[in-house]
Amino acid sequence: MTRSHKKGERPVETTDQAAHEAREQVTQLDGLRQKVFLDRYSVKDDQGRPTEEYPEQMWRRVAAGIASVEATPELRATWTERFNELLRDFKFVPGGRILSGAGTQAEVTCYNCFVIPGPEDSRAGIMDNVKTMIDIMARGGGVGVNLSTLRPRGSHVKTVNGTSSGPVPWGEMYSTATGKVVQQGGSRRGALMLMLDDNHPDVEEFITAKAINPLTSKPDRLEHANISVAISDPFMEAVKRDADWELTWGGKVYRTVKARYLWDLICEMAWKSADPGLVFMDRVNKMTPAWYFETQRCVNPCGACVTWARLTWPLLCVAAPSTTPPWPRLAGRPCASWTTWWTTPTTLSPRTSRPRSMGPGALAWARWAWPTR
């Protein structure tokens, strides 16, 4: 028989093999919407073929997966129905990692965004840090890391009687692993944010690292990373006054430049190549509600929210309903539940459960608040 359908969408023929779907309104996707759904969000069989054809199937699977953390079968059944109703018709849209991973048997993450601590300033420390990044990306998460913990290029390395490569060449390893090795959740390349403090001695090299090669029309270095400079309040004051700015590491002043020179270089490179970005990190730490227990050093690749080291964010979006039912209050429940449900990379497990944070973007907040205007 022909199932009722939404305006502007094709009706769908349903059969007895989908008894539950026959009781629901099935959303038929087409064109690019269907391609993205089947590629990124539908569960695949052993041959890589999609087993979910409609969003209703995905919503049911996600709802059951998130509700699986409830204590009793009765509670699991109740919350599966409530979560499913919350998800239907795109009223509540979790991040892509939740939609693709929740309710599956795959060891993937339900979080889009991660920040990991800067690497220890040693070969072993850097390799361990890259390993953590790869583990997260393989499970579907994007990663941000501040490389300011690494000594500047040319610094003496006593243990091998040599010199350091500096954070930019080491950053190449992060970039290559992200773009050429890792596939996030099997369907897309990794997402990486590299950051450097504004007073690091290699900040000039970092700012210009993604200059476009006119022969290839792409950068020669850090091609698969987003890069941003962590900007401090003293630096901005120095820019205003056209004052000198000391580039330091480990308590040693390596050289002094004009702050306005660095500022102009950042602006010029951003105009030419769209990188680097700016993160006003002192302002972030003054305005974050977590100021009293955590100092933030980096952001994740999406930039929708600043994340503490070893912590994560589930992303979500909320559509504006015609009325104001209790679902906005209900929306916090699955956010807490999938924090319990998801698979945690072992290197992050000591911190990912505290605090339980949500990451609604500006669109989500605006649509959430609209019915209460």
- The tens place of each residue's pLDDT in the chain, 373 residues long, gives 334 444 444 434 434 444 554 555 788 888 999 998 998 889 888 888 899 999 999 999 999 988 888 889 998 899 899 889 888 888 788 878 888 888 887 877 777 778 899 999 999 999 999 999 998 888 888 899 999 999 999 998 888 888 899 999 999 999 999 988 766 555 567 889 999 999 999 999 999 999 999 999 999 999 999 999 999 999 999 999 999 999 999 999 999 999 999 999 999 999 999 999 999 999 988 987 777 777 888 888 876 555 554 444 445 444 444 334 444 445 555 555 555 555 455 445 444 445 555 555 555 556 556 555 5
Q: Which of 233, 228, 231 is nearest to 269 (CA)?
A: 228
Angle between helices 55-67 and 332-341 (to 10 degrees): 70
CA distances from 47 to 35, 50, 51, 280 (A): 17, 9, 10, 47
pLDDT in tens, 81-111: 988 988 888 878 887 888 888 888 787 777 7
In whole angstroms, what is the distance from residue 335 CA to residue 249 CA?
Answer: 40
Cα torsion 118, 120, 121, 122: sign: negative
DSSP bridge partners of 111: none
Which residues neighbour 327 within 8 Å (Cβ) at sequence distance 6 or greater?
85, 86, 91, 92, 321
In whole angstroms, what is the distance from residue 91 CA to residue 301 CA?
Answer: 26
Q: Which of 134, 135, 138, 142 is nearest to 95 (CA)?
A: 142
Determine the longest span between alpha carbons in the chain, in angstroms.
Answer: 78
Domains and CATH numbers, the chain: 2-107+317-372 (no CATH), 113-287 (3.20.70.20)
**How many residues does the structure list for the chain?**
373
**How does strand 12-13 pair with strand 2-3?**
antiparallel
